[in-house]
Amino acid sequence: MPLSTIDRTEECPPDCRIQRLKEAVQGARPGVCTERARIWTRYHRLATNRRKPAAIQMAEALREVLRGKSITIYPDELIVGNFSSKRVGGSLYPELHGVPMLEDLLKFPRRKTNPLRISSKEQRQLAALIPFWSRRFLAYRAFRSPARRWRFILHQLQGQDYLINESGGIAHLAPDYATLLRLGADGIAARAKTRRKETPEDSEADLFYEAVQIIAEGLARFGERYARLAQDMAGREPDPDRREELYGIAAVCRQVPRHPARTLQEALQSLFFAQIALNLESLDNSICPGRMDQYLYPFYERDVRNGRLTPDQARTLVAAFSIKMAEIVPVFSERLTRFHGGLFNGQVVTVGGTTADGRDAVNDLTIIFLDVMNTLRMRQPNYHARLHRNTPPHYLARIRDILADGSNSPALYNDDIIVETMCRQGYALEDARDYTAVGCVEPVSQGRSFSSTDAALVNVPLLLERALNEGRRFGARRRSGARTPPVARMTAMADVTSAFQAQLEQQISRLVRDLHAVEAANRRYHPTPLTSMLLEGCLERGICSTAGGARYNFSGVQCVGPADTGDALYAIEQAVFKDHRLSLGALVDQLKANLSDEALRAYLRGLAKFGNDAPEADRWTRWVVETFARVLAQHRNTRGGAYVTGLYSVTAHQAFGSVTGALPQGRRKGAPFASGIAPGNGLDRKGPTALLNSLNRLDFSKTANGVNFNLKFDKQTLRGKAGRMALQSLIKTYFRRGGMQMQVNVFDADELLRAYRHPEAYPNLLVRVSGYSAYFNDLTPKMKEEIIRRQLVACGP
């Protein structure tokens, strides 16, 4: 049985096979896979299919994809299954982001950033799909009135005010893989069948259960296709060792995902099949295996106890799985890459933390996952580690050493504040304790939340621009925001802040109206039965996750540019109302002239900024975050959940910055905003302790959708024992005082400059971008420059 599949690892050094697998995946040029788009379209071209209820359509279309997509088992593999027809590839979802995404169809292979391999035949195949979807993709269907529809689509393409991600599908979940492993696809189908018996025929619930049965069977058969392939390959395999492995793989794939998993290998294999299928169902973004060290531990422990597996063999299996996770890339247009740079799929694996009853949860598998992450250092999955006040020292020390060594992963999460924040939002304590991040940094309860955590990103500094110009953009004649008083009538800070609030309220209302339309369209046109069968609540209630069936239903909206906005407000307060250096009107005239007065700009730049341990400046960033959270919390989504605030920006801070006018703190038109909750670029000058003191002035219980905070060091600073211990103290102190999340980046600027000039010499330089890591070469030149600039001004002596 499965044991034979891993015997080979004992003959050669444990990571020799893993090294070959890693090289094969890292050496593969990412490509576009047309299979999903073609099969999906073929299914929907049939009018008889289009007349079926949406839930059935989705289940059957996905079943057809799983049945018809090409399958491969690559040399050396222990965990099998392929996301796409390319070794590293991405699929297209024409029914979701559809036609706008295909604007790059001809550019994919030649564009500078994230080029994707595609043959001219494949390009023709995709082009042929465009007419069919041109009036059927989700954003088009979301808005009945043509005016609103085109306003929305244009808005999205311009990406000035806000960016709605949900129109490309929701995803962003941590599936209940523990249940899949325990019951198998058949077991879940049986549950649906039982429930269905008590449900009126042809009701929405009845159709939902039917869809679940269809797709559970489709998933089970997907595994069996690999069982047959492995069996065939074994018959032809000349190498007796590999032949045995392939027979073992065939046996594993006959068992899972149809039946319960019995071993660690079966468990990893089962969930990887589900991982592929989920990525093909709605959107290949942030399908997160989550707390793998927790729900896989019983399998590991039993295998080791029974003498079936050594810890080294477990490490090899985990590494084989981890490498498979890097075989997927998103297919984004260049336009979207500005917001989501770096070939980011956001598949999160979280380790550590606590059990449901609050005890520390670190186990042997936790350490194995950390080791694998550190050895591989690949783009995906994104590894995250949970810490809490009783975190064992050996675990913290391991993480600290890995980080000081320059791994840039894992990202760190503070249970103490996150669990409390989640409970305040309505999570049951034991569900909050079972959290994992999804996407970049957004905490959800594993297997229980359908939180559209990346619903939208909002350009907040732009609202200040409008507040200072009666609701108009600088230089515009048309009013695009709320009508607020002219600056000549603003005689105190309160006038400025109330104008800003008015702009914010109007913007959030517009955003929520759009989001409601998109949510309804997802529910109506793109239900997700497979996702739903892997989320607690949906089967019990007979309601799809897109319709609010899951136990928890938040939506996350990101406040982009909080520190830029906060610093701008502080600069107004100081320059206009305290120093009386110039009138507000004169300041706004200067902003419209893009701060051409160098002396004034120098003065504005010299004012205190967020991130330098200056309470008088920090409080304005805090005010922006709290105001945003308060305004947003007045709205609820159509799935019955609250909208919650997140402070991460992926790479939208660049894109939003590029379209926003000059700001009062001395930032010129078009300059990038700060990432996440970081201080303005290059504006933290007092080192990491001062920066953390500023961060700790924020109230993270207001940011339930998570925050992204990068603490950056050059390699020099963290060298030696002194450096490591200092890093540990920074982490511990920041978290003890209520910090929520932290990522540690270590690079030296010379290295980055060399990589910038000679990209070919640095194919695999991994940098943390926002909530995730990306290869430096996958970033746009502008993003590279920003990362270098950040490094040049990095903290530390």
Partner 1 sequence: MAPRDPQEGLIFDVQRFSLHDGPGIRSTVFFKGCPLRCRWCQNPESQTRTPEMAFYQERCQACFCCEAVCPEQAITRRPEARIDFVRCSACGACAARCDPQAIVTIGQRWPVDRLVAEIEKDRDFFEDSGGGVTFSGGEPMGQHAFLACLLPALKARGLHVALETCGVFTWQQIEPLLPHLDLIYFDLKHMTPDIHRALTGRDNILIQENFRRLASRFAGLRARMPLVPGMNDDEANLRATARFLAVNRHDRIHCLPYHNLGEAKLARLQTALHPLKTDRPTPERLAWVADIFAQEGIHALIYD
Binding site for partner 1 (CB under 8 A): 598-600, 602-603, 606, 613, 686-690, 692-693, 716-717, 719-720, 722-723, 725-726, 728-730, 732-733, 736-737, 795-797
Structure tokens that stand for 603 in this block: 């003065």
Residue indicated by tokens 């399998």: 299
At its nearest, how many Å lie between partner 1 and the CB of residue 397?
Answer: 14
Q: Residue 43: enclosing H or E segment and its boundaries?
A: helix 35-45
- Shortest CB 588 distance to partner 1, Å: 20
Whole-number CA gyration radius for the chain? 26
The residue among 157 and 593 lying less far from partner 1, judged by its C-beta, is 593
Those residues whose C-beta lies under 8 Å from the C-beta of residue 124, and which sit 6 or more positions away, are: none
Nearer to partner 1, 486 or 606 (CB): 606
Q: How far apart are CA 622 and CA 282, in angstroms?
A: 36
Closer CB to partner 1, 86 or 697, in the complex:
697
CA distances from 108 to 37, 119, 122 (A): 16, 10, 11
Q: In angstroms, rounded to a whole number, what is the distance separating the alpha carbons of residues 226 and 230?
A: 6
* Calpha distance 740→751 (Å, rounded): 30
Of 578 and 736, CB closest to partner 1: 736
Closer Cβ to partner 1, 53 or 687, answer by number = 687
Of 640 and 796, CB closest to partner 1: 796
For partner 1, the closer CB: 19 or 733? 733
Joined tokens for residue 454: 């990346």
Q: Please answer whether residues 515 and 457 qualify as being in contact, where contact means their C-beta atoms are separated by less than 8 angstroms.
A: no
Residue 91 per-residue DSSP state: -
Distance between CA atoms of residues 695 and 403, nearest Å: 20
Q: Residue with structure tokens 């955590």? A: 453
**452-459 vs 555-560, strand pairing mode:** parallel
φ/ψ of 196, rounded to 5, equals -60, -35
Which residues are within 8 A (CB) of 545 and not within 5 positions of it... i.e. 6 or more apart? 173, 450, 528, 531, 532, 535, 538
Q: Is 426 left (phi over 0), alpha (psi -120 to 50) or beta?
A: left
State both tokens at 155: 């808005």
Separation of alpha carbons 504 and 132, rounded Å: 38
Q: CB under 8 Å to 198, separation ≥6 — which residues?
A: none
Residue 713, φ and ψ in degrees, nearest 5: -135, 150
Long-range contacts of residues 355-358, Cβ cutoff 8 Å, at least 24 apart: 355/294, 355/433, 356/430, 356/433, 356/434, 357/430, 357/433, 358/433
